[in-house]
Amino acid sequence: MAVTQDPMRRNMAAGLLVSVAAVALALTHAALPTVPIDWVTVALVVIALLPWVAPLFKTIELGPGGVKLETRLREVQENLHRESQRVEELVNRVEHVEGVVFSGLVTPQLESELSKALKSFQDFLASLGFDVGPFPRIHVGDSAVDAAEYDARNNRVTVGVAVAGDPDVVCKSYIHQVLFDAVPGSNFDSERLRALESGLGDYLVCSHGGDPRLGHRSGAVWSARQGPDHPYIRALDHHRGFNELASDATHWDIGEVWGAAFWELRALLGKSTADRALAAPWRGLRDVAPRDPIDRFVARLEQLTGAGAVTVKEVLRRRGAEQTTPGPPA
């Protein structure tokens, strides 16, 4: 039976033998009183060190003229730098692959599609200055669940298998995490602030996808649930105003009007301008605790749009933004 020796151990053993032999010769040579310490002694010491320091030198020349060493330190440093870059690239690649954790009724194809969609959406949000943080865990439930719910405490999205193939559904749940984290400590018990967050979340998902119909890819599910004239979760291409809502309208209803107003601004100001002008005021809410975050948001939006401030004011005036809480004031 053949025994395979470890090359590394064999080289270390050989190096040790060479070093011991060379050191012994050097000591013997130096100990002889009639033999002065000359270049031969130095050369033997160098030979003793060669197995251990050779990787640091490019060339080593021994001769009557002395010892000539050409270091490879720069080369070693460059190699280390290249290796560190490779490690960093590998870490980034692993983070991208393992960024989304799936469970439940998920197929490899669905996992791949949702991972790609979430990564694209995350990059979009990061470009707007949001701290995107870690991806939520995605759990695909049974067919009885036809929506998605975000659990902030556990950073988990539960989505029904019937709509799991629609990236809008998952991204809509994910945007809640990003927007909540952007304004820590805010009072999300306020219907007005929750409505603004809901509308902005709808807008960002739709703007990234380039379609004002949120959840249109799973339209058949929504049509069966809400009627044939409603093949989507929400629509932002409408002209309803806040003053048209019922007095008991929820933050969900109010948010749909905010989202439509933002989509109208997108059409008038351009996608890039609107995206950035809407993201910055929301992030700005974390700087202070204004008595009325809606007024603060709108004022900052008008400031950031510059010459477009007149357009912002007109769109919000036409939508009745001064009455974002339907019915009599609380």
Whether the model clears a pTM of 0.95, i.e. scores above it, the answer is: no
What pLDDT, on the 0 to 100 scale, is given for residue 173? 85
128 phi-psi bin (left φ>0, alpha ψ -120 to 50, beta other):
alpha
What pLDDT, on the 0 to 100 scale, is given for residue 259? 96
User: Residue 115: which of 98, 94, 103, 93 has the closest Cα?
Assistant: 98
Q: Tell me which DSSP letter residue 312 carries.
A: H
Q: What are phi and psi of 138, to 5 degrees?
A: -110, 120
Residues 6+ apart with CB under 8 A from 36: none
The rounded distance, in Å, linking the Cα atoms of 123 and 71 is: 44
The rounded distance, in Å, linking the Cα atoms of 72 and 223 is: 70
DSSP-derived secondary structure for 290-303 = -S-HHHHHHHHHHH
Cβ atoms of 118 and 167 closer than 8 Å: yes
SS3 at position 104: strand
Domains of the chain plus CATH, in order, are 1-98 (no CATH), 102-323 (1.10.390)
Mean pLDDT (10-residue bins), the chain, 330 residues? 51 58 63 59 62 56 54 55 56 49 89 91 94 84 69 82 87 88 72 90 96 83 71 86 90 93 95 94 74 82 84 92 51
What pLDDT, on the 0 to 100 scale, is given for residue 64? 55
Q: Tell me which DSSP letter residue 160 carries.
A: E
The pairing of strands 57-63 and 234-235 is unpaired
What pLDDT, on the 0 to 100 scale, is given for residue 96? 41
Residues 6+ apart with CB under 8 A from 84: none
Cβ atoms of 171 and 203 closer than 8 Å: no
The rounded distance, in Å, linking the Cα atoms of 235 and 215 is: 9
Cβ atoms of 71 and 57 closer than 8 Å: yes
- In the block, residue with structure tokens 């002008």: 277
Q: Tell me which DSSP letter residue 148 carries.
A: E
- In the block, residue with structure tokens 């974002």: 324
Cβ atoms of 139 and 110 closer than 8 Å: no
The pairing of strands 156-160 and 137-141 is parallel
The rounded distance, in Å, linking the Cα atoms of 147 and 159 is: 6
